[in-house]
Amino acid sequence: MKLRDLIAAAAFAAAGGAFAFHCPADMAKIDAALAKNPKLTDAQAAEVKKYRADGESLHKAGKHQESVDTLAKAMKILDVR
């Protein structure tokens, strides 16, 4: 019984990290904000698009914390929470 409990705990611990990141949700928020044609300078718009693309690339590479941090920069420019 103890071995089964240990295996279950290890599985939950390993899966917990994957579910803690919210990269796809942040990307969706950025996309929704951009779809509303926010009032941004050309430089700001370019920055947001770069951060959005970089965030997705980092997410796909498994670098989730870096992705979250990068997407947060785009969300800050867009004033999205």
Give 17-59 pLDDT, tens digit per residue.
Answer: 554 689 999 999 999 999 999 999 999 999 999 999 999 999 9
CA 23 to chain CA mean position, Å: 2
pLDDT recorded at residue 51: 98
- pLDDT class of 16 with cuts at 50, 70, 90: very low
Structure confidence at residue 12 (pLDDT):
47
Calpha distance 16→18 (Å, rounded): 5
The alpha-helical segments, DSSP class H, found in 1-81 are: 2-20, 23-35, 42-60, 64-78
Q: Say how far apart CA 72 and CA 75 lie, in whole Å.
A: 5
Which residue reads 């979250």 in tokens?
Answer: 68
Predicted confidence (pLDDT) at residue 72 exceeds the cutoff of 70: yes
Amino acid of residue 61: A
Sorted by where each begins, the domain ranges of the chain are 21-78
pLDDT of residue 15: 47
